[in-house]
A and B are shown apart, each in its own frame.
Chain A
């Protein structure tokens, strides 16, 4: 058990280089507290797996250091790091039985049969593998094989961390939910550090105490699921989290007023004057927009282009001149025809300069 610290980690698959474009990971600093449940969220190719492999030692970073507590383990091989890792696709030892597969990590570390057997039987029961304990792994379905992979990750009780690399990709949805709650339960029970890589936001938000959002090799935000939702620090976080994501629109900023598509909106805060060269955008969640009947005072005139009824609420797509916005509405009865008025909840309207959130001063 240990705190894991990444110091100025950067990695390039083509070797050290001065060109930032060669780097799959760009200068990261991060500490994973012992016993935390973390989710690493980001689109495919953003460097999540690279980061995980650096922690487990499968990759030695081009730059930077990895520390377990105070100890520098950057050059320590995987076998000696005491880390468990579960991969996206099932890895089983075909010629071994399920029992032997689960026992393998313990056996390699010289545990006795008396220690191994009860642990394997207990874990197999937890994962629903008891019936197949003495079947050859190669005869099982992909689901079951992935459970074996999970089991091999969970079998050692004193690991520094368990790393999950999108482990539920091949599992069907019903079972996915079941395994996820099982993992959460295990986390509570044993308190090992868990780092869970995923590109599925629901998975990340339900699993983790803290979510790390990555984008193009950089960490763009670290926070609780709530913070990610309410105060995205990067337009990517706003866009990536939430369904549909945050509305982002280019605008002009004049103190406490923004101009979007030629319409002025007065904000709750005062913002400092920005340099002309920068890109200024507003971001607002569909949940914080509202529609009323056309020509309501204070509203902006929009045209409704599409309504998706997804059960509990409706996603309304509206057009303000040339810019489209998504609005989440519970009820649309106030609006008739395809014209409506759009209202901004200014306390939840965020301003982004070059994709990064800036804070204003309250008036």
Chain B
């Protein structure tokens, strides 16, 4: 028998990574944790308060409102952007000069910084000087995103669709391009309809990239901050105060560091949990054994 050599020195090899992760993630997170369980009156004096901040946040109506606004926003974004992105990808040309043209024009919105996108739309939608806002008003449509919550929501949603559908398109297009021609040939031989081709070839082959698209769009829309901050500043009233905007108001505007820290942790856990749910559900689609039948 050869004795297995035990050499604990190998742990030192992991040290650099450990330090990197510690400084980039764990330590910053721990400061938040620190504030979430303690109270301070300045001058570095802290008092242990246990779960008080969490209880306060969970039971506050303000948090509920922001949370439901956030969930509704992400749900709307996903229901619009994912099908729209897939549809555009399906309609894009597969070869020829149209491919680079489409890809570049699709990639353009993705290259614009968030706050610039916000500013563009803030001006674009203004009733007095904005092309969109002014035109709509001239057409007799009652549109004013600074006063009407519905208009504010529509503006932010349209802006997000304009900004981020491209990402879904590019991912879906990559997924579609990876399907070998022979699948389409076989489908023709089998007499499959366009819908069947989509349902049984394209969609299953796109499953992985769509999972990535859904996760990215979910996380990003759930964390949206800059654009609504630039366009509406969370208004009118609190109608577009999403969780991140509320968080910043609480932490920096009111300097309520304890509740803000508790809310940060809850926010983080919610994103983690929902991402996990999406991942698990979507990777298991089509995996469960079927009972067969025609």
CB within 8 Å for A134 and B291 given contacts A84-B189, A93-B201, A95-B200:
yes
Contacts of B40 in A (CB 8 A): none
A-B contacts, CB under 8 A, total: 73
Return the chain A residue nearest B191 by Cβ: A108
Contacts of B289 in A (CB 8 A): 134-136
CB within 8 Å for A133 and B292 given contacts A94-B204, A94-B286, A108-B196:
yes
Query: Interface centre among B182, B189, B191, by most A CB within 10 Å?
Result: B189
Interface residue SS majority, chain B: loop
Q: How many residues of B contact A (CB 8 A)?
A: 24
Alpha-carbon separation in the docked complex, A186 to B141 (Å): 71
Q: How many residues of A contact B (CB 8 A)?
A: 36
Return the chain B residue nearest A57 by Cβ: B188
Which of these, A85, A103, A107, A116, contacts B189 with CB under 8 Å? A85
Q: Is B43 an interface residue (CB 8 A)?
A: no
Contacts of A1 in B (CB 8 A): none
Cβ of A56 and Cβ of B189 under 8 Å apart? yes
Contacts of A100 in B (CB 8 A): 292-294
Cβ of B294 and Cβ of A91 under 8 Å apart? no
A205 CB to closest chain B CB (Å) equals 27
Q: Is A192 an interface residue (CB 8 A)?
A: no
Contacts of A108 in B (CB 8 A): 190-193, 196
Q: Is B198 an interface residue (CB 8 A)?
A: no
Contacts of B204 in A (CB 8 A): 93-95
CB within 8 Å for A105 and B294 given contacts A85-B185, A136-B286:
no
29 contacts between A and B (CB under 8 A): A53-B185, A56-B189, A57-B188, A58-B188, A78-B188, A83-B189, A85-B186, A85-B189, A87-B186, A89-B182, A91-B182, A93-B200, A93-B201, A93-B204, A94-B204, A94-B286, A97-B290, A99-B294, A100-B294, A104-B192, A105-B189, A105-B190, A108-B191, A108-B192, A134-B290, A136-B286, A136-B287, A136-B289, A152-B186
Instruction: Given contact pairs A89-B182, A94-B204, enumerate 20 new A-B contacts (beta carbons under 8 Å).
Output: A58-B185, A77-B188, A79-B188, A79-B191, A87-B182, A89-B180, A91-B182, A94-B286, A100-B292, A100-B293, A107-B294, A108-B193, A109-B191, A113-B294, A134-B292, A136-B286, A136-B287, A136-B289, A136-B290, A152-B186
